[in-house]
Amino acid sequence: MTSEHLFKTAGLAGLAFGAAVLAGRVAQAGSPRLLVFVHVAVKQRALQSQLQAHLVGIEVTAVGRIGDFDRTLKEGTDAALSLSMVLVAHGLSPKLYGQRKGAKEEVYSLVAADKPPDPARVATVGALDLLGRDGTTSFVHKLVGAKPKVERVTKVEDLLPLLQMQRADAILLPSRLYADLKSASRLNLAQTELPGKVGLPAVAVVGPAGAQVLAAIAKMAAGECKALGVDEWR
């Protein structure tokens, strides 16, 4: 084989590869986009992979920080999935609601070591950062019914160390996560369920392909959306 023929072959291969990459990028650019901001027990990358596998044809981006949610929302997406109150705080109207055991809301608990915490007496509460400093603080105060200092964290796994290092008197989380947290801790955890309820994850349309994303999410089976804390969408 001559060197000229080798160069031609290499050139054709390069062109084919470039065309394939370009086609992939075009296809990706044309895919409906879903932005997800939900605190779950698994890492965000794992959640993103799970959702991507179930939502074929949808480009899924899962973030774990409110700042990343704000930035990605501004950059553009077709639909956003987060707690109802987070969507509303960003001026978005939920169109599809996650439900668990037939309800759109769930109970939260204060969790502490050794004995059930008294909401009126806790001085510091650890909580997931849902709405930034001021918004999260207001959320905690309203739910607890008092005004403790709020220690914010960005991951579910970071809540327990707040108790272990005595940086918080109690931590706030959905009651459904309590059993898993208790089994994973050496602390003698106890909970106090709070009277107020918090809306489960919901989905809002943001861009032109939002309706396609909603239709795909609505078809998810119970097992496929379990990681999001819901068992169906309506």
Taking the C-alpha atoms of residue 110 and residue 191, their distance in angstroms, rounded to an integer, is 6
* Domain presence at residue 110: yes
Contacts of 76 (CB under 8 A, 6+ apart): 33, 206, 207
Lowest mean pLDDT among 11-15, 125-129, 208-212: 11-15
* 174/115 same-domain check: yes
* Domain presence at residue 144: yes
Number of domains forming the structure of the chain: 2
* Domain presence at residue 1: no
| 125, two tokens | 């509460």
Instruction: Write out the residue range of the structural domain in which residue 163 sits.
Output: 105-199
Give residue 15's pLDDT.
Answer: 40
Taking the C-alpha atoms of residue 57 and residue 122, their distance in angstroms, rounded to an integer, is 47
**Confidence class for position 47, pLDDT limits 50, 70, 90:** very high
Taking the C-alpha atoms of residue 144 and residue 192, their distance in angstroms, rounded to an integer, is 10
Decide: 100 and 91 in contact? Cβ < 8 Å.
no
* 194/212 same-domain check: no
- Render pLDDT for 145-200 as a digit per residue (tens, 0 to 9): 999 999 999 999 999 999 999 999 999 999 999 998 898 889 999 999 999 999 99
* 128/174 same-domain check: yes
* Domain presence at residue 23: no
* Domain presence at residue 168: yes
Domain of residue 173, CATH code: 3.40.190.10
* Domain presence at residue 26: no
Helix (H) or strand (E) holding 159: helix 159-164
